[in-house]
Structure 1
Amino acid sequence: MAKPTKRRVQGGRVTPRGTRPENEAAPRVPVSAEKISPIWVPVLMITLLALGAIVIVLNYVALLPGDTSNWYLMAGLGLLLAGMLVATQWH
């Protein structure tokens, strides 16, 4: 069986080489090299994460007032979530 012949495409580059888009008129402003978070951000993050973990563990071993409750579990998960949200603001 014979191979099909390749079709040659006539034409070439549509735009001249080395051109830039016209919308790049404004110079780019450099982003500040270092953003430093205030000291309270990591402290709050670690505190919330630790409190959430402690509440969940204390609920699991039944050391919190009352019986084991889903409300304690939800509070612990809420504290963990709050700690993760604060972690997104840490630079």
Structure 2
Amino acid sequence: MAPPKRKTGGGRVTPKGTQPGNSRVTAPKSDDAPAVAASSRYTPKTSRRQLIPPNWIPIIMVALLVGGGLMIMARYLIWTGSNIPTLIGLVAILGGLWAATKWE
């Protein structure tokens, strides 16, 4: 069995003796785009579209948390033979917790 082949190619990309920041390479200027350094790694955040207005989020959160708690209590007071209200209550509470993470 032959030994594994050595990696060939690669090597130095910049001239020997250069250090970061010695020279800046800029993109060619055009009329519609500002010049940006080629080594720049910053990417601005894209704006996300908000589907729910922020003032409704705490109202939805509290309604789901309270509704879920009431549904679990109603299982023990009204529907004693079924576990479906407990499941609905837990899902509502989880929805309230999910809404709490969306509140900024």
Q: Normalising TM by the smaller chain, what interval?
A: 0.5 to 0.7
1:42 to 42, 55, 58: 58
- Give the C-alpha shift of residue 58 in structure 1: 2.1
Work out which structure has the larger RCO, using CA pairs closer than 8 Å and 6 or more positions apart in sequence: 1
Match of 1:12 in 2: none
Q: CA RMSD in A?
A: 3.3
Match of 2:97 in 1: 84
Q: 1:86–1:23: structure 2 CA closer, same or farther, 3 Å change rule?
A: farther
Mind listing any 5+ residue stretches in structure 1 that lack a counterpart? Answer: 1-15, 31-36
- Give the C-alpha shift of residue 76 in structure 1: 0.3
- Give the C-alpha shift of residue 27 in structure 1: 5.0
Alpha-carbon distance in structure 2 between the residues aligned to 1:24 and 1:42:
43
Alpha-carbon distance in structure 1 between the residues aligned to 2:101 and 2:38:
33
Match of 2:20 in 1: 19
Alpha-carbon distance in structure 2 between the residues aligned to 1:81 and 1:53:
11
| Identical aligned residues as a percent | 28
Query: 5 Å matches for 1:1-20?
Result: 19=20
* Bigger helix share: 1
Write out the 4+ residue segments of structure 1 that deviate beyond 2 Å after TM superposition.
26-30
Between the two proteins, the alignment pairs up a number of residues equal to 69
Match of 2:26 in 1: none
